[in-house]
Amino acid sequence: MTKMALGTHPFLLGFEQLERLVERTAKTGNDGYPPYNIEQTSETSYRITLAVAGFAEDDLAITLEDNQLVVRGRQTDDMGERVFLHRGIAGRQFQKSFVLADGVDVGEAVMENGLLHVDLNRAVPESVVQTIAIKKG
């Protein structure tokens, strides 16, 4: 039995990009840091919340690159004068990626109590019915 790729199934015409999207999603390099939540806040909206304790707004960058939401964090190195007896709070740089479906727009991003909230909104497409004329051959 031969394995059929998702994009080559005869009923999925025009979905070749879906397989590439799945591959890209698997390669995003998310290692679990920082921890995050994804919640559905309404029928058409979502919220991604990242735990970014110790990061200031200027230490974070949010970009949208080809339907891929990328959140990057890099703290400035001010450790010269500080002496830690124990260091349990991670302060390393990170990059977290989320692939967004077509029609999902990024709303606002808000920092609150060490949490970065990024709101997403999905546009509801109108239902379109089109009649195709049949020509005589």
- Band (pLDDT 50/70/90 cuts) for residue 77 is low
Nearest to 102 by CA among 9, 10, 18: 18
Nearest to 16 by CA among 6, 7, 25: 7
Coil, helix or strand for 90?
coil
Residue ranges of the domains in the chain?
1-30, 31-78+86-122
H/E segment holding residue 50:
strand 45-51
**pLDDT higher for 50 or 11?**
50
Q: With 0-12 CB in 10 A as exposed, 13-18 as middle and 19+ as buried, what is 100?
A: middle
Task: Report the percentage of the chain scoring pLDDT > 90.
Answer: 52
pLDDT at residue 129 is higher than 70: yes
- Band (pLDDT 50/70/90 cuts) for residue 87 is confident
Q: Spelled out in words, what is the top-level CATH class assigned to the domain 31-78+86-122?
A: mainly beta
pLDDT digits (tens, 9 = 90+) for 107-121: 999 999 999 999 999
Q: Rounded distance, CA 35 to CA 64, Å?
A: 20
User: Could you tell me whether strands 94-99 and 45-51 are parallel, antiparallel, or unpaired per DSSP bridges?
Assistant: unpaired
Q: Rounded distance, CA 54 to CA 91, Å?
A: 7
Q: What is the pLDDT of residue 100?
A: 92
